[in-house]
Chains A and B, each alone.
Chain A
Amino acid sequence: MNPDNMVQSTGEWLRGNGPESDVVVSTRIRLARNHAAFPFTCRASSQQKTEIEHMVRERLARLERAPPLQYMNVAKLSQLDRQFLVERQLISRELASAEGPRAVAVDSRESISLMINEEDHLRIQVMRSGLALDEAWQDIDAMDDQLEQVIDYAFSDEFGYLTACPTNVGTGMRASVMLHLPALGLTKQIEKVFRALQKINLVVRGLYGEGSRASGDFYQISNQVTLGKSESAALTEIREVNRQIIEYERQARTLILRDTKQAIQDRVARALGTLQSATMMTSEETMELLSSVRLGVNVGLVSDVPITLVNDLFLHTQPAHLQKLMGTQLDGEERNAARARYLRTRLREGGPTPN
């Protein structure tokens, strides 16, 4: 697999056809695993990292019941291609910016990715569209079962799967659900929801990683505890909290449509109008406007923009995607012009008009 061949498409998790997809964009589960007989990545020599990389690669090829995986040598990719894989959520920022031998293996649907020599030797990740914690767990559990047949995991009865950072030790599992919560944002209830979440030990982050401000009203909710709580208990907790937030968001949508329909209609129409006609567009403004359009589509105020197109645009207007689509490196200003041009073309092709 080569990043150049991936650029026109999106992974299946972004298709917007999973359960509760009016509110939930995607579900992701990752497992942190290490080989028992090597030092952790940060303490391994370059030669040892190469050894780990080769070993994992060779053993992945032996798996009988895994989907075919394409292997990419991250150390040899250009900075643009690494950024591209980060935007697609196939690799982490840490793996992109790390040094030394490292790699990723991805299936053709982009639903499974295995990072090698990240903070842990192995980071297994499964992505699904919508709220699909059980399905994602089944996939990743099966993948992990196969890998444990060929790789000697660092595991202790007492502390579970041993990881480089003690915040991951135990199950090594982090499950995240990415939510789109524009109505809770508009009705200013979002802070309240998050304060409640922090009390029960779940972490909330904006889209695209740790600590970043939520842009486009996207939020990721993940479990924090990995020791002393089983995978299924952690998943149940996360599922229940998400069900509640989905309910709040839907109530808020009903409420704003009932009480401030004209204002919402105006907001959505302006967002779409701007996206269809502006000549310069920053990434941040794009996220905010697309968020309004996405809300408009989901509450029936926009009928002729397919949700898959909106999801596509969120990804394709990210800096690395844009540059690969244009086939050239672009600086900030050029990027804003190219982004606006791309949005105009894609949104006019579909011929959407606000109701």
Chain B
Amino acid sequence: MKCQLCDKPATVHFTKVVSKKITELHLCQSCAEQQQIPSLGDLSLSAILQSLIGQHVGPLSERLSRLTCPTCGLKYMEFRKHGRLGCPADYNAFRAGLEPILLRVHRSMRHVGKVPRRRKPEAHETELLDLRQQLRQAVQVEAFEEAARLRDLIRKKDTANEPG
């Protein structure tokens, strides 16, 4: 198929549906860029998610913009920018900013379905997550003695609860 605006092969196929009226465009990459057609990547789930984040947490962002996860150090604004969370503890740390998004995407805020049979206390897992974060920082600043201590501690705590 050829580009509708020039003769190069069409690689961007854009279907627009506005109040039941469908418009199709078949363009080559450079014409598509000139027409400012969003690229394929822009139409992905994560892009849709990001536009949702923008729409639904706008009014809250004053307070949220200062939030940082105490466990992994991710800032709420970074999540807002990339649409990915940093660690399991973010679900609690960013609760106020996440709930409107969950409600919009899933129309629900509460899990229904499978539950793992073997579970460890959440506190234990968060502690390990914390220790791993400290270890990473220790390695970064070349505090090797501290790093070795943390590594042993993680090993001990991890194997103390080794599944069995």
The answer to whether residues A154 and B88 also contact, given A45-B136, A48-B132, A211-B43 and a CB cut-off of 8 A, is yes
Contact B84 A150 (CB under 8 A): no
Q: Does A169 contact B (CB under 8 A)?
A: yes
B43 touches A165 (CB 8 A): no
Question: Using Cβ atoms and an 8 Å threshold, which residues of chain A touch B46?
Answer: 165, 167
Interface assignment of B87: CB less than 8 Å from any CB of chain A: yes
- Distance of A333 from chain B, by nearest CB (Å): 13
Once the chains bind, are B113 and A149 in contact (CB under 8 Å)?
A: no
Q: Say if the beta carbon of B3 comes within 8 Å of chain A.
A: no
Interface contact B116-A148, CB-CB below 8 Å: yes
- With A36-B129, A37-B158, A169-B102 as known contacts, state yes or no: A43 contacts B87, CB within 8 Å: yes
Please, how many angstroms separate the alpha-carbon atoms of A228 and B102 in the complex?
10
The stretch that binds B, out of A16-24, A155-163, A318-326, is: A155-163
Is A53 positioned at the interface, with any CB of B under 8 Å from its CB?
no
Contact A42 B108 (CB under 8 A): no
**Which one of A149, A195, A210 contacts B45 once the chains associate, using CB atoms below 8 Å?**
A210
Chain B, residues 30-60, CB within 8 Å of chain A (1/0): the string is: 0000000000110111100100000000000
**Residue in A164, A167, A213, A233 whose beta carbon sits within 8 Å of that of B105 in the complex:** A167
**Cα-based distance from A164 to B44 in the complex (angstroms):** 16
Q: Which residues of chain B come closer than 8 Å to A231, judged between CB atoms?
A: 113-114
Contact of B117 among A38, A148, A156, A163 (CB under 8 A): A148
List residues of chain B with CB within 8 A of the CB of A173: 113
Per the bound structure, the CA–CA distance linking A144 and B114 in Å amounts to 10
Could you say which residues of chain A place their CB within 8 Å of the CB of B107? 225, 228
Min Cβ gap B89→A in Å is: 9
- For window 221-265 of chain A, which residues contact chain B by CB distance below 8 Å? 224-233
Contact with B along A20-35 (1 / 0, CB 8 A): 0000000000000010
Task: Identify A157's interface contact among B43, B87, B111, CB under 8 A.
Answer: B111
Q: Is A314 an interface residue (CB 8 A)?
A: no
Task: Considering the complex, give the chain B residue whose CB is closest to the CB of A42.
Answer: B84
> Which residues of B133-164 are within 8 A (CB) of A?
133, 136, 139, 158, 161, 163
Q: Determine the residue in chain A with the shortest Cβ distance to B40.
A: A211
Closest A residue to B94 by CB, please name it. A166
* B63 interfacial by beta-carbon distance below 8 Å: no
Q: Are B132 and A164 in contact (CB under 8 A)?
A: no
Chain A, 145-183, contact with B by CB distance < 8 Å: what is the 0/1 string? 100111111111111111111110111010000000000
Measured in the bound complex, the distance between the Cα atoms of B16 and A191 in whole Å is 12
Q: A165-B85, A166-B98, A211-B41 are in contact. Are A171 and B111 (CB under 8 A)?
A: yes
B72 within 8 A of A: yes
> Nearest 3 CB-CB pairs, A to B?
A228-B108, A160-B111, A37-B128
- 10 interchain pairs, CB-CB under 8 A: A34-B88, A42-B82, A43-B86, A119-B84, A141-B114, A155-B119, A156-B91, A159-B91, A166-B49, A229-B108
Name B residues whose Cβ lies closer than 8 Å to a Cβ of A: 13, 17, 22, 40-41, 43-46, 49, 72, 74, 82-88, 91, 98, 101-102, 105-120, 122, 125, 128-129, 132-133, 136, 139, 158, 161, 163
Enumerate chain A interface residues (CB-CB to B < 8 A). Answer: 34, 36-40, 42-43, 45, 47-48, 119, 141, 144-145, 148-167, 169-171, 173, 191, 195, 210-213, 224-233
